[in-house]
């Protein structure tokens, strides 16, 4: 495909001309980027204890290897929409994959924890452009009736990462070195770069890609980075308490300055006026609560299985991968379930069941048969994946195409911020519980408390979802047509 070939997005009143086959092809290519991200994250979670031994630190402090990447995502994602409109989605998407791949190579050769953290930040810079820009291409090029199917196709290959990651990470740690967990991104990155060059076209919105809100990007990035670092160091003796307090103060001050700036700027890098759209605001807020809880699970579960239950990394991976297997099974079921019950009912009641499934992790015992834990995690993965699909689709349902770039950047920023908070909440709760019980290393009771806390956070999302109109998203789910 010629490098200069560009497509203009459809106007507000026209339906995109993309066929279902082309929609699926684009979704799968974009999902390849999600695959790299999810595989990377789940492998690292399984390998944290081995990495901690290599760097001569405690496993709990290794959460910085996860949060540093997510902080970089949160800082740079707001600019993704503008960069795509300014330089072209295909060029940005391809460059992002290359940067992520280079960051993976540097992580694999890191001689110390600070170098690893710096390499993870570089990975985050690439990841900040990969998924939002790819999703932007897809959302601008499909009709409302294709959205549920497109979002399912978008995430199915990406869910292979969590399926493969834990057992593969356990296998690598057991029979090789943890450094290989980063090297496997290299062939995926090469294949992804070639696929983008051949099949992804530039889809731009006319009149977009003006001057970047550099001052807004600086303020928002400064605020999120400081707050994430403050959350990461709260109550963990990593830095003096005065430093953490100062980070909180400066972070919230930057938030206030950005809010004031965004009210006056005609095109702010994070468009807060999107929260005036109810069907965007509710999934953003409720989805954040749910993602905080889900973000803590990949950190807490492998640590409990390996450090308290005594599982090997491979055995731990074989248990935890069943949650992603349940998520994979859900994807074909999403369209008929949403058509039968509608978005509001699914988000409210499925959210309750998903939170209860998370809370059952607190009851796990090392004497339980693996099949019991597997069944609970499988069901939980199914429920959580359905919840994510519904959140992601309904959030874009009422967004005008001219504002899709801003909505994608804002929603992706919120997603990554929530996942970062999930790791921080899980690690902080676990650390505080250990201190209260005077444990030098977390025990089963400490992990149980952490699972209960994150499950309660997930449960808080359902009352917000109940505020959705009962007809919300009918044009995408077909729920109204299925009613008598």
Query: Is residue 31 within 8 Å of residue 154, measured between CB atoms?
Result: yes
Unique residue bearing structure tokens 């992603």? 324
Where does residue 360 rank: exposed (0-12), middle (13-18), buried (19+ CB within 10 A)? middle
> Which pLDDT belongs to residue 463?
94
Where does residue 207 rank: exposed (0-12), middle (13-18), buried (19+ CB within 10 A)? exposed
> Which pLDDT belongs to residue 482?
44
- The CA distance from 397 to 416, in Å, is 21
Query: Is residue 278 within 8 Å of residue 240, measured between CB atoms?
Result: no
Q: Tell me the per-residue pLDDT of 252-301, one tens digit each, with 9 for 90 and over.
A: 999 999 999 988 888 888 888 889 888 899 999 999 999 899 888 878 88
Torsion angle defined by CA atoms of residues 431, 437, 443 and 445, in that order, rounded to the nearest 10 degrees? -100
Render the burial of 51-65: b for 16+ CB within 10 Å, e for the rest.
Answer: bbebbeeebbbbbbb
Q: How far is CA 266 from CA 253, 263, 271, 399, in A?
A: 22, 8, 9, 18
Render the burial of 211-220: b for 16+ CB within 10 Å, e for the rest.
Answer: eebeebbebb
Residue 94 corresponds to which tokens in the numbers above?
A: 């391809």
CA atoms within 13 A on the CB side of 290: 32
Backbone angles phi, psi at 32, to 5 degrees: -60, -35
> Which pLDDT belongs to residue 159?
62
- The CA distance from 78 to 129, in Å, is 9
Residue ranges covered by each domain of the chain: 18-212+269-482, 223-268
Unique residue bearing structure tokens 């928002």? 220
**Is the Cα dihedral 459, 148, 139, 188 positive or negative?**
positive
Sequence-ordered strand ranges (E) for 100-168:
none
Residue 372 corresponds to which tokens in the numbers above?
A: 């019991």
Nearest by Cα to 298 from 325, 317, 326: 317
Q: Tell me the per-residue pLDDT of 194-214, one tens digit each, with 9 for 90 and over.
A: 988 888 776 666 555 567 788
Nearest by Cα to 250 from 217, 225, 218, 223: 223
CB atoms within 10 A of CB 194: 12
> Which pLDDT belongs to residue 10?
44
> Which pLDDT belongs to residue 206?
56
Q: Tell me the per-residue pLDDT of 313-372, one tens digit each, with 9 for 90 and over.
A: 778 777 877 887 787 787 788 888 888 888 899 999 999 999 999 999 999 998 888 889
Q: How far is CA 294 from CA 205, 279, 301, 422, 475, in A?
A: 34, 22, 11, 7, 29
Q: How would DSSP label each residue in 425-451?
A: HHHHHHHHHHHHTT-SS--HHHHHHHH
Residue 276 corresponds to which tokens in the numbers above?
A: 């005036």
Nearest by Cα to 103 from 31, 221, 189, 177: 189
> Which pLDDT belongs to residue 467?
92
Q: Would you say domain 18-212+269-482 falls under CATH 3.40.50.150?
A: no
* pTM for this model (two decimals): 0.78
Q: What are the 10-residue block averages of pLDDT along the chain, 484 residues in total?
A: 42 52 78 80 76 79 76 80 80 90 91 89 88 78 73 69 72 83 89 86 60 85 82 68 87 92 86 88 92 85 85 78 79 84 92 95 89 91 88 84 81 79 82 80 86 94 91 75 45
Residue 6, strand partner residues: 202
H or E element at residue 202: strand 202-204
Length of the chain: 484
CA atoms within 13 A on the CB side of 182: 20
DSSP conformational letter for 361: G
Nearest by Cα to 78 from 267, 228, 257, 276: 267
Rounded to a whole number of angstroms, the distance between the first and last alpha carbons of the chain is 48
Residue 466 corresponds to which tokens in the numbers above?
A: 């109940």
Residue 203, strand partner residues: 7
CA 133 remoteness from chain centre = 14
């Amino acid at each position: 495909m010629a490098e200069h070939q560009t497509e203009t997005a459809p106007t507000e009143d026209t339906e995109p001309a993309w066929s279902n086959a082309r929609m699926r092809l684009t979704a799968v290519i974009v999902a390849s980027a999600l695959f790299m991200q999810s595989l990377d994250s789940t492998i690292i979670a399984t390998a944290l204890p081995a990495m901690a031994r290599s760097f001569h630190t405690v496993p709990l402090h290794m959460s910085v290897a996860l949060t540093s990447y997510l902080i970089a995502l949160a800082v740079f994602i707001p600019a993704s929409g503008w960069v795509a409109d300014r330089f072209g989605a295909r060029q940005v998407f391809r460059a992002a994959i290359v940067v992520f791949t280079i960051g993976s190579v540097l992580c694999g050769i890191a001689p110390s924890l600070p170098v690893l953290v710096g390499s993870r930040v570089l990975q985050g810079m690439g990841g900040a452009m990969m998924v939002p820009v790819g999703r932007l291409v897809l959302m601008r090029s499909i009709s409302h009736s294709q959205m549920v199917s497109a979002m399912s196709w978008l995430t199915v290959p990406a869910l292979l990462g969590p399926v493969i990651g834990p057992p593969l990470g356990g296998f690598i740690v057991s029979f090789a070195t943890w450094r290989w967990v980063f090297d496997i991104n290299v062939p995926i990155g090469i294949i992804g770069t070639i696929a983008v060059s051949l099949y992804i076209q530039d889809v731009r919105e006319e009149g977009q890609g003006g001057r970047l809100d550099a001052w807004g990007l600086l303020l928002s990035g400064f605020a999120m980075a400081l707050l994430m670092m403050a959350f990461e160091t709260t109550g963990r003796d990593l830095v003096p308490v005065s430093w953490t307090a100062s980070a909180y103060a400066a972070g919230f001050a930057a938030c206030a300055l950005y809010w004031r700036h965004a009210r006056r700027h005609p095109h702010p890098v994070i468009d807060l006026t999107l929260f005036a759209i109810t069907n965007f605001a509710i999934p953003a807020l409720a989805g954040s609560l749910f993602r905080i809880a889900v973000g803590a699970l990949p950190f807490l579960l492998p640590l409990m299985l390996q450090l308290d239950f005594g599982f090997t990394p491979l055995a731990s991976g074989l248990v935890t991968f069943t949650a992603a297997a349940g998520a994979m099974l859900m994807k074909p079921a999403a369209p008929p379930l949403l058509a039968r019950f509608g978005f509001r009912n699914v988000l409210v009641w499925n959210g309750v069941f998903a939170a209860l499934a998370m809370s059952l992790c607190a009851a796990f015992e090392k004497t339980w048969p693996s099949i019991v834990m597997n069944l609970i995690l499988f069901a939980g993965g199914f429920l959580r994946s359905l919840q994510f699909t519904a959140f992601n689709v309904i959030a874009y349902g009422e967004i005008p195409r001219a504002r899709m770039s801003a909505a994608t950047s804002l929603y992706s920023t919120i997603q990554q911020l929530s996942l970062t908070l999930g790791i921080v909440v899980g690690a902080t709760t676990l650390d505080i519980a250990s201190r209260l019980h005077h444990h030098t290393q977390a025990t089963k009771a400490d992990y149980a408390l952490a699972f209960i806390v994150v499950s309660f956070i997930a449960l808080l999302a359902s009352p917000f979802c109940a505020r959705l109109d009962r007809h919300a998203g009918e044009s995408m789910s077909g729920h109204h047509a299925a009613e008598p």
